[in-house]
């Protein structure tokens, strides 16, 4: 059976930045108003149901808005539920796409210890993001 990946937005379109170019800007009529958070019942149900499909590789891709707004305890619970419901010989992977503003040492340790693939979005004024992207590209060639 082929690997399968879920794209999960546990905080919906909520973000701790207010970028003018954001995809979610002015989309409240389509996506709803107010604070959006996945509750524990939904987290457990979708984790259980997804892992019971029995894919050899089951990947959880956490995005947003800003997924770290859920708090570290949410992701600790997600990893616990993955361990609880994973089937024998089933590999689980997690990825987190974040602006990294809330990432501190405790987050870093958790992400490392649980083998999360982390992508960091570089947000801000075009002049700054262009420079940072150029520097990152140059560093990756070294």
Domain of 65, CATH number, reads 3.20.20.70
Tens digit of each residue's pLDDT (9 = 90 or more) over 45-86: 999 999 999 999 999 999 988 999 999 999 999 999 999 999
Exposure string of 68-79, with b = 16+ CB inside 10 Å and e = fewer, is bbbebebbebbb
Global pTM value: 0.83
The residues facing 118 across adjacent strands are 96
What residues make up the domain containing 56? Answer: 4-140
Q: How many domains does the chain have?
A: 1
Asked if 36 contacts 63 with a C-beta cutoff of 8 angstroms, the reply is no
- Residue 4: is its pLDDT beyond 70? yes
């Amino acid at each position: 059976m082929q690997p399968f990946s879920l794209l999960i937005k546990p905080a919906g379109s909520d973000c701790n930045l207010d970028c003018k170019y954001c995809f979610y800007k002015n989309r409240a009529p389509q996506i709803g108003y107010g604070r959006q958070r996945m509750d524990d019942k939904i987290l457990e149900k979708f984790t259980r149901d997804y892992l019971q499909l029995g894919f050899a590789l089951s990947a959880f891709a956490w995005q947003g808005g800003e997924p770290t707004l859920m708090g570290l305890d949410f992701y600790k619970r997600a990893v616990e539920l993955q361990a609880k419901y994973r089937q024998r010989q089933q590999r689980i992977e997690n990825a987190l796409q974040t602006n990294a503003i809330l990432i501190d040492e405790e987050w870093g340790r958790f992400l490392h210890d649980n083998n999360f693939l982390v992508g960091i979005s570089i947000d801000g004024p075009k002049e700054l993001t262009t420079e940072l992207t150029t520097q990152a590209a140059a560093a990756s060639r070294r």
